[in-house]
Structure 1
Amino acid sequence: MGTIGYWLGQGFQGKGIMTKALEAVIHYGFTELNLNRIEIQAAVGNKKSRALPESLGFKEEGRIRQAEWLYDHYVDHVVYGLLVKDWQEL
C-alpha cells in the first residue's frame, strides 16, 4: 500500500499542478512499485484537498476521528482509497 500526502501554497492553487503531480505519483506507484492500493487522507472541511482524490477516481472509504491537530483543535480525516484494478478501468 502507498500513502500520498500533499500541500500546495495558496498562490499555486487552482492551476492543475497538484492534479498532474498526483497523476504521475499514482502512475508510478501502480506501474513501477506494483502497489495494489494507494490511500489519501484529507481533513473533512478541506474541500480543495478532498476534491483531488474524488476527481482522480478514489473512493471514499471512511472517517478517522480527530486524526490531526490543526492550529488549535483536532480535525477528522476522510480516507480515500484507489485500487490498481479500479485505476486500470479509468
Structure 2
Amino acid sequence: MSEKINEQEMIRFIAGRTKADPKAISLILKHEQAFISSAKANAKGEVDIDSDDLVDYVLSRRDIKLDELTVESVLEAEMDYLMDKGLAGYLD
C-alpha cells in the first residue's frame, strides 16, 4: 500500500466508535499486527485472517484486560476505518 495509515487518526476513530481507552486500542492493534505478521500468505500473496482466531489470539495476551466484545468492537472499527480509506476489504 502506498498510502500511509495515520495511526493516531485511526485510534481516535476507533475510540469514537467503541469508547475504548486509546492505550487499550494501541495494545490491541500491536497484538493484531503480530498475529498478521505471523500469518502465511496464499499463492496470490493475500493473507486470509480468520477474525475469531484473531480475537482469540488478542485475548490470550497477558497484557490484555478487556472482554471479547470490546476487542471485537475495536477490530471491527479498525476494519471500517481501513475500508473507508480504501486500504482493506473482505475476501468472499
Q: Which has the higher contact order (CA 8 A, sep 6+)?
A: 2
Do Structure 1 and Structure 2 share a fold, with TM-score over 0.5? no
Higher strand share: 1
TM-score (norm 1): 0.29
